[in-house]
Amino acid sequence: MVHPRKIAGAIALALGLIGVSHATGNPKSTFDNVVTFGDSLSDAGNISLYEVPGFQPPQKFTTNPGNITVQNVAAALGYSLTASLAGGNDYAWGGAGVNNNSPGTPAGVPTITTQINTYLASHPTLDSHALYTMWGGANDIFYATTTPATAQTQIVAAAQQEVKLLGQLQAAGARNILVFNLPNIGLTPEAQEAGASAASDLTTLSAIYNNQLNAGIGKLGVGIIPVNAFALLSQVIANPGRYGFTNVTIPACGIGSSSVLCGPQGSGLPYTYAPGTNNSYLFADGVHPTTGADKMLAQVVLSELAAPQQISLLQEAPLAAVTTQTAAVRNEMTADNFGSTTRAFANINYSNQQFDQSAGAPKTTSNNVDLTVGADVHATDNISAGVGLGIGEHYADVSGGGGYDLQAITGLAYLTWHSGGAYAGTYGDFGQASYTNVNRVFMVGDYRTHESGKTDGSYLGLGFHGGYWFDVGSLKTGPLVNVEYQNIKIDGYSEGGNDATSMWFGRQERNALISTLGWGLQGHWQMSNMDLTPFAELGWNHDSRASTDMVTAGVNGMNGSFDMAGFTPDKNWGSANAGVRAQITSNVLGWVSYNGHFSDNSQRYNSINLGVKFGF
């Protein structure tokens, strides 16, 4: 049987001896606060301040003065998470259980149930934009092992109570709750020291708790961000060197130590660790992680929070492909004065598209090649009709690692009318999007982790185009207008594997309604025996359906799902198009042009077009 954790006693003798500096960063956050409930794994100093109120900074259950997991997460989101006894938002206490505290815990330590009920009494309406975290259950197991006959019943009740508490937070308005399941307590040094039978019992109780918790959070709906600590600990212990650990069996602070009383050599605390072991050892004491392990777990959490933001770009990618291909069709409609009755064309476009980094998406660069081929006929002197096929290959790289490959295949049809200087027409498109190598790359400890998946999608669009050419000497100039609607749907998918960090993502949908008002200009030059037509267009574009892309996600090994705001496209931007057409022979027309966006706050876009048209 595992000996109960001792968190009182020598604290009052030791914690007045030293002080250690502490600093946090403040990056841009997608949440406006972080609030924590739980036990010693999330206690930012409450038990320390309770025993010795004047000690600063308060000790934590790790290799002090390092931060615990939730503090690292909060710091990455832009917040300093401190103990509630110091006026902060961390209400977790060492020794706290969901229903029953660990044996030996000071009498004044509130259970997790008490933590949340007390908080809700003073905060009946919760901040829907805050990140709440909960990690509990381990101390209920330590308590239950003192009465083996009823241990499993107690563990089931504790897990059910945690689910109830999560439901209370949701009912009060919480929309993002980070929920850790229990690590495999049977793999901890304290459990292993107690013998194979005790370790096996603790593994069984950990699994019972997690299974009950998992079943419960599966019924809570969207708003649970699950963290599979059980799978992660098992992975790291199975291959510690991969993640940067040299020892996963001996505590850095020594056998029989308590990490809340542990600091570096020379700190004067009852327990100390050798230089470097705070990062190279997995365990600080018999059950608590070191600073390095806490950093690693925070990396996993942050990768989960970032994943939907990266995946949100999938619904933007087909829009670039199809609008490039419909632009090739509009070029045919605008220049419908190439005398032959039957014509075929081909247009190839290379574009560089850069999505800017924002609170909702990482910086991403996509190199795109789109080929559009088609043919049209003069149905009458004033009406032409045509069809086309577009094939796009887009290769995107996310800053820091990851990306996706997109193949977009589009069928197009168009009808245009012209009379004198006036022209008008309509066009439609339908396409299939195929994504491969949808990769996320992030660090877990020292291991550069790759999670990969693939998915498909479709898109359907309709556009109207028109304008008027005024003759001004050898020049033509005039207004143009275009309205284009696109509906893009991306299937949900799961990443391969079932490790601690593999995830699934829900179905996505993007609607765009882009209105363009512009002005065109074209001239006429004679060079040797070749007619040249330089042209330029400036446009103002407004996407009335542009909004923040939302993505639903979860992890493969646990229930629970959450929505995360992703990429936000700009509603307004300018566009410029300039190039030259060349009448190579009486039946062959070629062109080259540049197209780009400006005053777009969400992305940069530049492209080069090459095309040719044949008349028959």
Query: What pTM was computed for the model?
Result: 0.92
Q: How far is CA 367 from the centre of its chain?
A: 21
Task: Give 318-615's CATH code, choosing from 2.40.128.130, 3.90.79.10, 2.60.40.10, 3.40.640.10.
Answer: 2.40.128.130
Question: Which pair of structure tokens corresponds to residue 292?
Answer: 């390095």
Q: Which of 324, 385, 356 is nearest to 593 (CA)?
A: 324
Q: Please state, in angstroms and rounded to a whole number, the distance separating the CA atoms of residues 131 and 138.
A: 22
Q: Which of 191, 257, 207 is nearest to 3 (CA)?
A: 191
Examine the pLDDT at 12 and tell me if it is beyond 50.
no
User: How confident is the model at residue 13, as a pLDDT?
Assistant: 36
CB burial of residue 574 (10 Å; 0-12, 13-18, 19+): middle
Q: What is the DSSP letter of 169?
A: H
Annotated catalytic sites, by residue? 40, 285, 288
Examine the pLDDT at 616 and tell me if it is beyond 70.
yes
Q: Are 116 and 169 in contact (CB under 8 A)?
A: yes
Question: Which pair of structure tokens corresponds to residue 551?
Answer: 């993505």
User: How confident is the model at residue 29, as a pLDDT?
Assistant: 61
What residue ranges in 469-496 does DSSP mark as E strands? 470-472, 475-490, 493-494
Average per-residue pLDDT for the chain: 93
Taking the CA atoms of residue 212, residue 214, residue 215 and residue 218 in that order, the dihedral angle to the nearest 10 degrees is: 150
| 262-264 and 572-585 strand pairing | unpaired
What mean pLDDT is predicted for residues 504-522?
A: 97
User: How confident is the model at residue 24, as a pLDDT?
Assistant: 27
Structural element, H or E, at residue 141:
helix 138-144
Examine the pLDDT at 336 and tell me if it is beyond 80.
no
More confident call, 337 vs 7: 337
Q: What is the DSSP string of 376-421?
A: EEESSSSEEEEEEEEEEEEEEEETTSEEEEEEEEEEEEEEEEEETT
Least confident of 60-69, 325-334, 368-377: 325-334
**Please, which pLDDT band fits residue 529 given cuts at 50, 70 and 90?**
confident
| 447-468 and 383-398 strand pairing | unpaired
Q: Please state, in angstroms and rounded to a whole number, the distance separating the CA atoms of residues 291 and 281.
A: 9
What mean pLDDT is predicted for residues 165-175?
A: 98
What mean pLDDT is predicted for residues 358-362?
A: 87
User: How confident is the model at residue 68, as a pLDDT?
Assistant: 99
Task: Locate the domains of the chain by residue range.
Answer: 26-305, 318-615
Residue percentage of the chain with pLDDT more than 90: 86
Q: What is the DSSP letter of 281?
A: B
Q: Please state, in angstroms and rounded to a whole number, the distance separating the CA atoms of residues 152 and 149.
A: 8
What mean pLDDT is predicted for residues 256-267?
A: 96
List, for residues 77-120, the tens digit of each pLDDT value: 999 999 999 999 999 999 999 999 999 999 999 999 999 999 99
Instruction: Tell me how far CA of residue 566 lies from CA of 30, 307, 329, 359, 593, in angstroms.
Output: 10, 9, 31, 8, 33
Examine the pLDDT at 490 and tell me if it is beyond 80.
yes
**Please, which pLDDT band fits residue 522 given cuts at 50, 70 and 90?**
very high
Query: What's phi and psi for 125, nearest 5 deg?
Result: -115, 115
User: How confident is the model at residue 194, as a pLDDT?
Assistant: 96
User: How many other C-beta atoms are found inside a 10 Å radius of the C-beta of residue 117?
Assistant: 13
User: How confident is the model at residue 385, as a pLDDT?
Assistant: 94
Examine the pLDDT at 28 and tell me if it is beyond 90.
no
User: How confident is the model at residue 392, as a pLDDT?
Assistant: 98
Structural element, H or E, at residue 575:
strand 572-585
Residue type, 228: N
List, for residues 225-236, the tens digit of each pLDDT value: 999 999 999 999
Q: Please state, in angstroms and rounded to a whole number, the distance separating the CA atoms of residues 262 and 253.
A: 6
Task: Give 26-305's CATH code, choosing from 3.40.50.1110, 1.10.10.10, 3.40.50.2300, 2.40.110.10.
Answer: 3.40.50.1110
User: How confident is the model at residue 60, as a pLDDT?
Assistant: 98
**Please, which pLDDT band fits residue 337 given cuts at 50, 70 and 90?**
low
> What SS3 class is residue 480?
strand
3-state secondary structure 80-98: CCCEHHHCCCECCCCCCCC
List, for residues 543-594, the tens digit of each pLDDT value: 999 999 899 999 999 999 999 999 999 999 999 999 999 998 888 999 999 9
Q: Please state, in angstroms and rounded to a whole number, the distance separating the CA atoms of residues 301 and 216.
A: 21
Examine the pLDDT at 23 and tell me if it is beyond 60.
no
User: How confident is the model at residue 380, as a pLDDT?
Assistant: 87
Examine the pLDDT at 5 and tell me if it is beyond 70.
no
